[in-house]
Amino acid sequence: MERRDSAMSKTQVHFHPDGQEALVELLFQLADDDFLLAYRGSEWLGLAPHIEEDIAFSSISQDTMGHAAMYYQLLEDLGCGSADELAHARPAAARRNAVLLERVNGPGHYLREPRYDWAFTVVRQYFYTQAKRIRLESLTKRVYTPLAEVAAKIQVELHYHLLHWHTWFVQLTNAPGEARTRMTKAIQDVAADFAGVLTLGAKGADMVRWGLIDDEKVLTERTIAALAPAFAEVGLDWPMPFGMKHGNGRNGEHTPDLDEALATLSEVYRAVPHAVW
């Protein structure tokens, strides 16, 4: 393992005070991204195309929720509040996740008439997992040791996630008829918001300056390079440019989908104030 920046030590939970703001911002992006996507994944439980997929998808969503929990824990260690509070009690405007990850799985509700869109889910998961892998690779090599260590742990699980979604992506897009039409539409839909996943937001330059992560331009190039072979496999044109159609979540811009998600995921948490569950 390469030598870490001398500003850090293994047990240290305080970053350089001037860089702390950028670090906290980055951790919120990482935590909220995984938390919201794991939540959307958990809504699929019992509704996936077949029972094997239900089990595999659930396992991926658990991993992803576990990743969020590790990031929230890092924030707790930095004195930002308890991990549960950070996950459950922050209002939409304080959330830093990409809008793509908060968007609903489709029309309906997870308990009533869930007319969920498997194509959108596959494409969102596949694109996001690629971006996440690139981001993690960058994080493991950076200066804040507690984060680099968490990133290395997460990386191990990501290999399987990527394989899983890549298989679905290629299989469905290469299937004739309705499947290809739906997948093509889903790719357009995901691409329209994918820039929101790739950006590091208004404090991105500070994150780079403090050696926390690579520049978002570099990360974007690497993500595109990672996704390109799959597009060759399915014989589709590259869906550029990526957009932020529904806003930049990194800067606190969100959709009503997030309000609905937060209301549901914190319903019990908020029901009895100060209770232990």
Partner 1 sequence: MAAMMTFTRLSDEEKYERFMQRIEAGEKIEADDWMPDEYRTALIKLIAMHAVSEIMGALPEKEWVPKAPSLRRKLGIMAKVQDEMGHGQLLLRVAEDLMAPLGKTREDILEDLLNERLKFHNVFHMAAPTWADAGLIGWLVDGAAIMTQTNMLDASYGPYARALKRICAEEVFHAQHGESIILALAEGTKEQKEMLQEALNRWWEALLMFFGPPTADTTGTSKQDITIKYRIRTKTNEQLRQDFFTKYVPRIWALGLKIPDETMHFDKEKGQWIYRQPDWERFKEIIRNNGPKSQERLELRRTAYKQNAWVREALGAVRTAG
Q: What is d(CA 107, CA 105) in angstroms, rounded to the nearest whole number?
A: 7
Which of 20/255 has CB closer to partner 1?
A: 255
Q: Give the per-residue contact string, 26-45, with partner 1 (x = CB under 8 A; - = no).
A: -------------x--xx-x
Among 13, 46, 93, 159, binds partner 1 (CB under 8 A): 46
CB of 127 closer than 8 Å to CB of 190: yes
Q: What is d(CA 171, CA 132) in angstroms, rounded to the nearest whole number?
A: 22
Q: Burial of 110 by CB count in 10 Å (0-12 exposed, 13-18 middle, 19+ buried)?
A: middle
Among 55, 94, 163, 228, binds partner 1 (CB under 8 A): 55
Closest approach of Cβ 124 to partner 1, in Å? 15
Q: Give the per-residue contact string, 103-122, with partner 1 (x = CB under 8 A; - = no).
A: ---x-x-xxxxxxx-x----
- In the structure encoding, which two tokens stand for residue 206, read together? 């500070």
Q: Does 51 bind partner 1 (CB under 8 A)?
A: yes
Other CB atoms within 10 A of residue 275 CB: 9
Among 7, 20, 66, 255, binds partner 1 (CB under 8 A): 66
Q: Does 94 bind partner 1 (CB under 8 A)?
A: no
Stretch that binds partner 1, among 132-140, 170-178, 214-222, 229-237 (CB under 8 A): 170-178
* All residues at 6 or more sequence positions from 103 whose CB lies less than 8 Å from its CB, including other chains: 40, 124, 193, 246, 255, 257
Helices (H), ranges, 44-177:
51-77, 83-88, 99-102, 118-140, 145-174
Q: Does 235 bind partner 1 (CB under 8 A)?
A: no
Q: What is d(CA 215, CA 229) in angstroms, rounded to the nearest whole number?
A: 23
Q: Does 271 bind partner 1 (CB under 8 A)?
A: yes
Which of 96/142 has CB closer to partner 1?
A: 96
What phi and psi values does residue 7 have, to the nearest 5 degrees?
A: -65, -15
Question: Residues interacting with partner 1, by CB under 8 A?
Answer: 39, 42-43, 45-52, 54-55, 58-59, 61-62, 65-66, 68-69, 72, 83-84, 87-88, 106, 108, 110-116, 118, 171-172, 174-179, 182, 264-265, 267-269, 271-272, 274-277
